[in-house]
Amino acid sequence: MDALKQELKENIIEQLNLEDMSPDDIANDDMLFGDGLGLDSIDALELIVMLDKSYGIKLTDPKEGRAIFESINTMAAYITEHRTK
């Protein structure tokens, strides 16, 4: 699980061009959207593609992403349960 969380942080930084950040800057329970990391709805769409490409999880409704992408913890939990690759 910890390895997955580290991997997620690295992928998010790379995918979303968070140039000035390192994985250590993101706590596992930091809010990714809104007041936390400040991600927005376009980032959510980018993360949906990441789920599909890296973990074989397909979301059809962007609204589903809201709960999943709340924090690194919620993402890791969801991926662990649903990943197909």
Identify the three-state secondary structure at position 41. helix
Instruction: Give the nearer residue to another protein in terms of CB position, either 42 or 67.
Output: 42
Distance CA 10, CA 15 (A): 9
Quote the least distance from Cβ 78 to another protein, whole Å.
18
**Contact, 12 vs 57, CB < 8 A?**
no
Nearer to another protein, 24 or 61 (CB): 61
Coil/strand/helix, residue 6? helix
Residues that bind another protein (CB under 8 A): 15-20, 38, 40-42, 45-46, 48-49, 52-53, 60-62
Residue 16 or 32 having the CB closest to another protein: 16
Q: Minimum Å distance from CB 18 to another protein?
A: 6
Contact by Cβ (8 Å): 46, 15: yes
